[in-house]
Amino acid sequence: MDWFLILEWVIKAVILLLFLTAGFAYVTLFERKVLARIQVRIGPNRAGPQGVLQPIADAVKLIFKEELSPKDADKVIFMLAPVITVIPALVITAAVPWGRSINLFGREIALGITDLNVAALYILAVTSISVYGITLAGWASNNKYAMMGGLRASAQMISYELGLGLAFVPPILLAGSMSLVDHVETQAAMGIIRWWLYQPLGPIIFLIACIAEVNRAPFDMPEAEQELASGYHVEYSGMKFALFFMAEYIKMICVSMIGATVFFGGYLGPFVDQFPILGPVYLFIKVVGILFWMVWVRATSPRIRYDRLMAFGWKIMLPAALFNLTFTAVLVLLTGA
């Protein structure tokens, strides 16, 4: 076994985890700033210049908070649920490539944790696991609000997962592979416009399903403040609450990374052929773009009623995704692409 290879893997894993955790901290600030600007406010500006130290202040505050657990809660599951929620969020992007391989210290280093040949399946599987943590949190809290929030969250996530899963099929069909590296390289070969023309509804279905998947506005029924206090994490405080928050924002970054890779060219951009190191930069820019869109949607649209939300998932998203899939298959067969 090559020890340098293992060292390389460990370093890349640490880089990804640091990027996601630091990204989480600054996405919260980014969201508050953008929301504030859209609502003609200034937003956090006290901690550090322009409020850049705000996430650190929040973290310090949460570390020194008391951790409560309700009387008849299932103590073990109550403690494990936030951890179970955050692990899938941290590992879901393992299959996403950051760029083509670069030469560093005389070694060929692939940018990305790993290139799985079942990447799409892996992403769907890990997304499903993240439902468990939320459901268990709601169940273990021994609280009616939490129970209801957890159930709503799991029902909503599994309903939109169908659309999400079916949105992955046309790219697999076009690339002839589940590997996300192959998806990006096929986009490079086909051109991004042709990639979209083959699956006109794909990106839209994926983005809508993603917002529902991370339980964000306008699909944030599990956390509806007016009726459920705050949903599945109502009994959580301190760092355990921070873990749920962390999982939600890291999942935002993750679905943006996956969406950018599958539908918006991933690490592709001008001059990326000559300088492969630009790959991660382009990916980062695209991720920030999608994150901005997510915050924009939250600032603009009101919350959808729960029955309409489920009806939308089953009666519009699922048929649309099936149509999209059939369209791609027929077009590929007709054009012989």
Partner 1 sequence: MINFSLQEANPMLAPEYIPLAILFILATALGFLVVIIGNLFGPRRPSIRKAMPYESGMRPIGVGTRRTPVRFYLTAMLFILFDVEVIFFLPWAVVFRELGLSGLIEMGLFLLILLIGFIYAWKKGALEWE
Binds partner 1 (CB under 8 A): choice among 32, 188, 322, 327: 322
Residues in the chain, how many?
337
Shortest distance in whole angstroms from residue 47 CB to partner 1: 19
Binds partner 1 (CB under 8 A): choice among 3, 4, 71, 76: 71
Using CB under 8 A as the binding rule, whether residue 62 contacts partner 1 is answered as yes
**Four-residue CA torsion sign, 312, 318, 324, 327:** negative
Extract the tokens encoding 276.
């492969």
Using CB under 8 A as the binding rule, whether residue 316 contacts partner 1 is answered as no
Q: How many CA atoms lie within 13 A of 225 on its CB side?
A: 3
- Pick the closest to residue 293 from 220, 213, 212, 207 (CA basis): 207
Using CB under 8 A as the binding rule, whether residue 172 contacts partner 1 is answered as yes
Torsion of CA 77, 81, 82, 85, to 10 degrees: 160
Q: How many residues bind partner 1 (CB under 8 A)?
A: 85
Using CB under 8 A as the binding rule, whether residue 234 contacts partner 1 is answered as yes
Binds partner 1 (CB under 8 A): choice among 47, 53, 288, 332: 332
Using CB under 8 A as the binding rule, whether residue 143 contacts partner 1 is answered as yes
Report 21-50 residues binding partner 1 (CB under 8 A): 21
Kindly indicate which of the ranges 33-41, 217-225, 256-264, 312-320 contains the residues binding partner 1, using the contact rule CB under 8 A. Answer: 312-320
Report 252-271 residues binding partner 1 (CB under 8 A): none
Report 209-228 residues binding partner 1 (CB under 8 A): none
As a whole number of angstroms, the distance between CA 59 and CA 64 comes to 9
As a whole number of angstroms, the distance between CA 319 and CA 329 comes to 15
